[in-house]
Amino acid sequence: MNKIYLDNAATSAIDVSVIDVITKSMQTNYGNPSSMHQFGRTAKSAVEKCRKTIAKLFNATASEIVFTSGGSEADNMILRNAVWNLNVKRIITSKIEHHAVLHTIDDLKNENDVEVYYVDVDKKGVIDLNHLELLLQQSDKKTLVSLMFVNNEIGTILDVKKVAQLCKGNNALFHSDAVQAFGHYKVDLQEYTIDFAVASAHKFHGPKGVGFAYFRKGFGVKPILTGGIQERGARAGTENVHGIVGMTKALELAYSNLELDSSYISELKFYFIEQLLKHISDVEFNGDPQNKALSNDTILNVRFPVESAMLLFTLDLKGIAVSGGSACQSGSLGGSHVLNTILSKEEAQKTSIRFSFSKYNTKEEIDAVIEVLKSVII
């Protein structure tokens, strides 16, 4: 049985070249970056070289990059610093954010008496910017806006530049979980004027367990992990040297082939849409995947005309790896918080599947998936 991996928004296969640099680093660069001897200095030099390389890719400075274990830790670091260190009293977010953001904000609300407001979202997952502006103008309290760059379930793209302008015009800070954007889009952090952003290596063919938080220059960082002075005092714990080296290589590869890979992946996605509409009656899509300006290349969230609790399991048995979204697929009684927000109760109960693509997928794989879906749905 041929295995087909279409769950790249969850995690992606590590590029062979990334594995090579990680392996070499593990064999030759095993010093602790905090050690003063030559082995430690060599490791420290590797980490700082990576920091500079990553900063250059996003038009930032090295001092603005803090290495973390991934996106969730980075989101926690930023949100908690906003309240603990920057005197934020209000947070504006949406109900379709990643749980790393929503659950952390809930904690901050309960533990620090922070006011939390949710901006309206339309049925395609698009943030209502008029409502955002209204919320920003309602109070003079120090405010943080936290909205993700690309939604991880439905692929809807935020108008980041407009949100940044609204925040700046209303003296608010702006945090964006950019886990599904970094490595997939050119992001100039000076042009976008985001104050805080988050990346995770395994979303762009890098290793798991490593990412970074971006803090715009001028914002101090108090560690949420204590016990050491690593990362200039921002995060205790020995740096994941090999992971950082691998993440940097993955980013360099992503941006050296960005246009070609994006074009190829977009072609796959639209081919899949075309075949679904041709072969599956009454199929619908969550978000707005046919609008290139509003939807990213990699994610396609499909809502099938029936409720089938076994569809995800059936696809897995056929060797097809995807993610579920609706109540019967998600593994939780409440279902997808994203779909429950943007869909009616009736539509949210239908079976939704997230297919997400990478440069390693092929049209032949898409055809094979369509054949399986035809046999199950029709």
pLDDT value for 307: 79
| DSSP-assigned letters across all residues of 150-206 | B-TTT-BBP-HHHHHHHHHHTT-EEEEE-TTTBTTB---HHHH--SEEEEEGGGTT-
Mean pLDDT by 10 residues, the chain (378 residues): 93 98 96 96 97 98 97 98 96 98 97 95 97 97 98 97 97 98 96 96 98 94 91 94 98 97 98 97 95 95 87 94 64 78 92 96 98 88
CA-based nearest residue to 359, from 282, 264, 289, 279: 264
By residue count, the chain amounts to 378
Q: Catalytic: 50? A: no
Return the sign of the alpha-carbon dihedral for residues 367, 368, 369, 374.
positive
Sign of CA dihedral 246, 248, 249, 251: positive
Q: What pLDDT score does 84 carry?
A: 94
Domain boundaries, the chain: 16-255, 258-377
Asked if residues 92 and 119 have their Cβ atoms less than 8 Å apart, the reply is yes
Six-digit token string for 368: 């094979």
Which residue in 304, 311, 93, 71 sits closest to 197, CA to CA? 71
Given the residues 6, 126, 276, 328, select the one marked as catalytic: 328
Residue 237 contacts residue 210 (beta carbons within 8 Å): no
Residues forming beta bridges with residue 7, ordered by sequence position: 356
Contact present, 220 and 85 (Cβ < 8 Å): yes
Q: Are 246 and 22 in contact (CB under 8 A)?
A: yes
What is each CA distance from 67 to 41, 52, 104, 241, in whole angstroms?
18, 12, 19, 10
Please tell us whether the domain made up of 16-255 is placed in CATH 3.40.640.10.
yes
Residue 178 burial by CB count (10 A; 0-12/13-18/19+): exposed, middle or buried?
Answer: buried
pLDDT of residue 377: 83
Fold topology of 258-377: Aspartate Aminotransferase, domain 1 (3.90.1150)
Query: What is residue 1's predicted lDDT score, i.e. its pLDDT?
Result: 67
**Whole-number pLDDT of residue 61:** 97
- Rounded to 5 degrees, φ, ψ at 169 are -70, -20
